[in-house]
């Protein structure tokens, strides 16, 4: 029998374009599968440019702390595809995934369909067949035409901060991109809106008003901030005084606010809310690496990993580094040729001693290391080129054994690091 990897590789050939936004192919396959999207446990649907995964992780931690079983769908994966699908809290098994993928391939027949569309259908099929109390769906790209946007009556929708990214698919302006994200809002279904630029907020609120969707917006219906080393959250139900999120970085305060709003709407207790901010786990978002071959090769280095890849991600990482104790800080950075590389790097310049540019192994859309280096130089950084992450790390450790090193720039690079570092 074919492995899941073999079936996934074959699925990459089912449509000539990697991304081709439409819901027609998804609806066709779901119909052939018996419309599993109509039989899901209550759905929380999450869109936005940044913070979707962290927000989902915190919601899941809070729900599970209350004894709920939770399905969760996220993308892209980091080390292994199976990470994308959690069934009642557990990552899907190889046997279950292989069976689902095979079934979807059979039902799809000769029809064209993108990789993300057919794998999303597989996830929805898995969720419909497995009992759970909630389903958490993270949008892949955009919202309006994303393959996850097939649930007519979710329990709740969430739009995390919207910024400029994926312009080739979503539009050139913040308003155009926000309109695509707002496409997940459903008639009469409450929408939680995270912090937004004015142009984005106006578009999102206008769509919610047209659909009669109750709005729970940051700065209006809920507030969150850091005070004396604690997270303070307030909504119409009262005040929560909680520990700071265990996910590092000041931007996680806002993500926590959206997650807490969702949990409060779903009836969570104060204990569940505390669990949301203290027990969430989300890899490659300012993740400290503490074991594995990379760590062993530079045992005195403080090694971090982050998959942020757009200007907002650069700002978030820079703010996180600024709050850490002073330490010589090096970046090992690889990026895709579809990203605003300089925009990502500019906020990081003031926090960085030297950037070591690398290519992302096995990724056809990787930027050449020399191009990444040149972008760093133009952003005001000192920069050099390295043949690999391991080579860059050895070079840093030889000169500055106690350095802080952040591997960054791409989720694809982060995934490679997690696979190779165990």
Quickly list DSSP for 351-367.
G-SEEEE---TT-TTBP
- Answer for the pair 42, 134: CB distance below 8 angstroms, yes or no: yes
Rounded Cα distance, 115 and 240, in Å: 42
- Answer for the pair 41, 163: CB distance below 8 angstroms, yes or no: no
Q: Torsion-angle region of residue 64: left (phi > 0), alpha (psi -120 to 50) or beta?
A: alpha
CATH topology assigned to domain 4-278: 3.40.1190
Check residue 171 and give its pLDDT. Answer: 66
Provide the strand spans (E) within 264-324.
287-288, 302-305
Q: pLDDT per position in the chain (422 positions), as tens?
A: 579 999 998 888 887 666 778 899 999 999 999 999 999 999 999 999 989 999 999 999 999 999 999 999 999 898 899 999 999 999 999 999 999 999 999 999 999 999 999 999 999 999 999 999 999 999 998 999 999 999 999 999 999 999 866 565 676 789 999 999 999 999 999 999 999 999 999 999 999 999 999 999 999 999 999 999 999 999 999 999 999 999 988 889 999 999 999 999 999 999 999 999 999 998 888 999 999 999 999 999 999 999 988 888 899 899 999 999 999 999 999 999 988 899 999 999 999 999 999 999 999 899 999 999 999 999 999 999 999 999 999 999 999 999 999 999 999 999 999 988 86
Token digits of residue 204 = 């999102």
Sequence ranges of the chain with CATH classification 3.40.1190.10: 4-278
Sequence ranges of the chain with CATH classification 3.90.190.20: 287-420
CA 63, 69, 70: angle at the middle one, nearest 5?
A: 75
Token digits of residue 106 = 């059979």
Q: Quick one: which of 114, 126, 138 has its CA closest to 23?
A: 114
204-206-207-208 Cα dihedral, nearest 10 degrees: 80
Q: Write the CATH number of the domain with boundaries 287-420.
A: 3.90.190.20
Q: Tabulate helix, strand, coil % of the chain (nearest 5).
A: 40, 15, 40
- Answer for the pair 336, 168: CB distance below 8 angstroms, yes or no: no
Token digits of residue 133 = 């109390």
DSSP letters spanning 316-344: HHHHHHHTSPP--EEEEE--BTTS-HHHH
């Amino acid at each position: 029998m074919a492995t899941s990897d073999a079936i996934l590789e074959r699925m990459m050939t089912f449509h000539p374009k990697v991304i081709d936004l439409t819901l027609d192919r998804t609806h066709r396959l779901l119909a052939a599968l018996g419309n599993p999207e109509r039989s899901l446990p209550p759905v929380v649907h999450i869109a936005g440019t940044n913070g979707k995964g962290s927000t989902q992780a915190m919601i899941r931690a809070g729900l599970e702390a209350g004894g709920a079983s939770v399905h969760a769908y996220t993308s892209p994966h980091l080390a292994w595809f199976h990470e994308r699908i959690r069934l009642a809290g557990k990552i899907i098994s190889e046997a279950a995934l292989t069976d689902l993928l095979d079934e979807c391939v059979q039902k799809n027949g000769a029809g064209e369909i993108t990789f993300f569309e057919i794998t999303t259908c597989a996830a929805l099929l898995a969720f419909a067949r497995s009992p759970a109390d909630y389903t958490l769906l993270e949008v892949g790209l955009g919202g309006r035409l994303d393959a996850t946007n097939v649930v007519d009556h979710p329990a709740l929708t969430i739009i995390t901060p919207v910024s400029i990214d994926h312009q080739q698919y979503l539009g050139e302006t913040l308003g155009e991109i926000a309109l695509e994200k707002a496409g997940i809002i459903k008639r009469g279904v409450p929408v939680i809106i995270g912090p937004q630029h004015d142009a984005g907020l106006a578009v999102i609120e206008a769509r919610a008003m047209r659909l009669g969707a109750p709005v729970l917006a940051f700065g209006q219906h809920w507030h969150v901030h850091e005070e004396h080393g604690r997270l303070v959250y307030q909504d119409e139900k009262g005040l929560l005084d909680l520990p700071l999120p265990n996910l590092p970085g000041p931007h996680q305060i806002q993500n926590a606010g959206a997650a807490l709003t969702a949990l409060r709407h779903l009836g969570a207790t104060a204990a569940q809310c505390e669990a949301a901010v203290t027990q969430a786990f989300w890899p490659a978002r300012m993740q400290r690496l503490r074991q594995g071959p990379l760590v062993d090769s530079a045992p005195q280095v403080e090694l971090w990993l982050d998959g942020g890849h757009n200007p907002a991600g650069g700002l978030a990482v820079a703010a996180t580094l600024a709050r850490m104790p002073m330490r010589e800080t090096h970046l090992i950075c690889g990026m895709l040729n579809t990203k605003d590389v300089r925009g990502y790097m500019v906020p990081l310049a003031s926090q960085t001693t030297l950037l070591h540019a690398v290519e992302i192994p096995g990724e056809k859309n990787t930027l050449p290391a020399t191009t990444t280096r040149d972008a760093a130089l133009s952003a005001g950084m000192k920069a050099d080129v390295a043949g690999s992450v391991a080579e860059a790390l050895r070079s840093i450790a030889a000169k500055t054994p106690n350095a802080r090193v952040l591997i960054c720039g791409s989720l694809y690079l982060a995934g490679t690091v997690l696979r190779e570092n165990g």
